[in-house]
Structure 1
Amino acid sequence: MPRALFDEIHERVTQFDEYFLQKKDALGVPGFTSLQKVVCAVRMLTSGDSAHELDDKFRLAESTAIENLHRFCNAIIGWKAGWPGCIGSLDCMHVKWKNCPSAWAGMFTGKEHEPTVVIEAIADHECRIWHFFCGCPGSLNDLNVLDRSPVLNSQITGEMPTVLYSVGQNEYSVPYYLVDGIYPGIHCFMSTISNPSSRAQKLFATKQEAKRKDIERAFGILQHRFHILTIPMKLWHRDALCVVVKTCVILHNLIIDYERKHSIDSTYTEGSEYVPEHPFVIVPAKDEELSADAKLVNMSRIHNRSMHARLKEDLVEHLWSMFGGADDSS
């Protein structure tokens, strides 16, 4: 994490919660400094060290370090709340839960053969996570998690901005996400072609599978930056676990935004906001709530299988027109 970004996080967290300010006790003895508290919380997230292991380094008792971590997570989430919807790759990841209650162990144990909590996320080509949903038991597959996720409901209710783009001669207004074969063949999901019958379809399958690795890279970078996600969580409550994971996602996005804004090839001026570049037009969502009829229309558009088939055909032709010659030469 760059020093300038850490300084900004330290300042924002201190402004958000007075808990991080240095205070004096009844005898006038100064307590822990704000820098000491923030560094301790960041160290727990990035290294995965337990509160007991950090006692000697930061001189915080185990209970104080745990409370400090919870306060830090709430401050980060309160500072950066929510993400806009965006086209990207959709997939799920499991986080191990060591202190899962025994009564829940069966429900939270899946293919990993130990209790886990599922994280659903959407990431773009820069590995920025635009959608995040956490809390489902580890025994659920990706489709079961999707049924509980707000990713489709946000499009039905109109909370997500409308996306306008064209492929070939056809125009579309429903965003789609690159997914694997378990997801249904509806308008908002674009999976690979399992048995391509032509060279164009084979090229589409290759490009789709390569592009869908964006979410895998995002999960890998997230776990590399925050080792707490790679070891079994020692928290007792599922909500607390999700708060920690959400904080890691927010910090991950902050680092990507900072690096993108301050990269050598950046074209952004000093003090400007990071704005991602995508080959489509975003129409902001309206504030008023949609009627029941409008929601039904959105639902039918999202679940339209014929539009999904037409979009896939257009994408096959589009990719072949762009990369077919290169494929021949190779």
Structure 2
Amino acid sequence: MSSDSSSSSSDSVLDDMVIAITQEAINYLREEAQFSTSRTRQPALERDRLGAHECLVQDYFCENPLYDDGQFKRRFRMSRRIFIKISNDLAGEFPFFIQRESASHKVGFSGIQKCITTIRQLAYDTESDAWDEYLRMSSRMCRDSLENSVKAAYPTAWKGQHHRSDHDGPTLILQAVASQDLWIWQAYFGMADANNNIAVLVSSNLFDDVVDGVAPDTSFYANDVEYKYGYHLTDGIYPEWATLVKTLSCPDDEKKLHFKKKQESTRKDIERAFGVLKRDGLSSSSHRGYLKIK
């Protein structure tokens, strides 16, 4: 009898411990969820979109605007007439630039506001949220406006010039020269179908300064021999030019194998330079969230 009583008492204590631990775990998870919600969820800003639109109209687009045509052209790098035509054409062709009402009956941004933020970002190279105080537009809306404007300004008839069957989007060929300190000395862009590693040397301006005799002095000594011009490390597809130092495809001794390893490892500087760009974004700070290197 006492054994049964002792056993049931132990079971009761164990049950109480399990219940207490479970309750503590539930309370902990609730506290973590509340803390996470309060930490990540930002309150929505009530931006006066209509007020910002009216202010914009009074400043630039009414019958007697505050700023005249000369001031408009200086600030937006185009005449007021051309800007209005662009805004009207975009609104007529692309739904994004039409002012609409959301499901919660909030009036959206006007086409003029979206065009203004696009031109300001391009003209002044600013951050996407730099015009929030004036246009009452979030960083995301400014980026969307820029992206849709670029898509609208890229005619369908021209897309074939930059499209290849092995890529989903438009492509360009890039010839670049970078040094070990990640400094990009030269960059040339061309159409992918019209250029390859060989043809791009003919169309680019890589050696124009050398031919014209205005290139900086890059002479150096190697094995007691003076070389007048610098050199570029390339792969095997490039032509046999004195300024192009290619790797060895089949080294047959230790010396040539050592050269091959050093040449190929140093040639990776260009890939390392673009790896930094991929990681840290382009030098233009306003386009870090929009432009991508693939």
TM-score scaled by length of structure 2: 0.47
Larger radius of gyration: 2
Determine which structure has greater relative contact order: mean sequence separation of CA pairs < 8 Å that are 6+ residues apart, divided by chain length. Answer: 1
